[in-house]
Amino acid sequence: MSGIQEDDDLVFRKIASLIEPLNDKGVKLTRETDMIADLEIDSVSVLDIVMDIEDSYDISIPVNTISEIKTIGELVDAIHDLKKEQS
């Protein structure tokens, strides 16, 4: 289990590092942070962050999936699911 936990932290930190430059209000980032409501990042910028993640992990995250994702935690979970599916 500790393997998954560690991997989880790595993915979270990766996402946080991509979001931080757009975190103008200095909100503390947690799994529960809503990217659009809490950080006021526009929907297109979220898609651009996802593209960086896709290239980091060599996975494709469909736009259809992203539109259902609101929090950083949901994005972390979606990446784990896709890594399993596409590996």
Partner 1 sequence: MSLFDKFKSTAEQYNALVAATERDPFGVSMDEIKGPTRAIVKGKEIVLAGTNNYLGMTFNKDAVDAAKIAIDEAGTGTTGSRFANGTYAAHRKLENDLAEFAGYKYCIVFSTGYQANLGAISALAQPPNDVILIDADCHACIYDGCQLSGAQTVRFRHNDPESLDKRLSRLDENVSGKLVCIEGMYSMFGDVAPVGEFVEVAHRHGAQLLLDEAHSFGVFGDGGRGVCERDGVLADVDFYTGTFSKSLASIGGFVMSNHPELEYLRFSSRPYMFTASPSPANIAAANAALKKIAEDASMRTSLWENANRIHAAFTQLGFELCAETSPVIAVKMANREQAFMAWNFLMDHGVYVNLAIPPGTPNATSILRLSVSAAHTNEDLDAVVGAYTALSEALAS
Is residue 24 part of the contact set for partner 1 (CB under 8 A)? no
Between 3 and 85, name the residue whose CB sits nearer to partner 1.
85
Give which of 73, 62, 66, 83 is closest to 31, Cα–Cα: 73
Q: How many residues bind to partner 1 according to rule CB under 8 A?
A: 18
Q: Give me the 32-51 binding string for partner 1, x by CB under 8 A, dash otherwise.
A: --------x-xxxx-xx--x
The answer to whether 68 contacts partner 1 (rule: CB under 8 A) is no
For partner 1, the binding residues (CB under 8 A) are 40, 42-45, 47-48, 51, 54-55, 58-64, 86
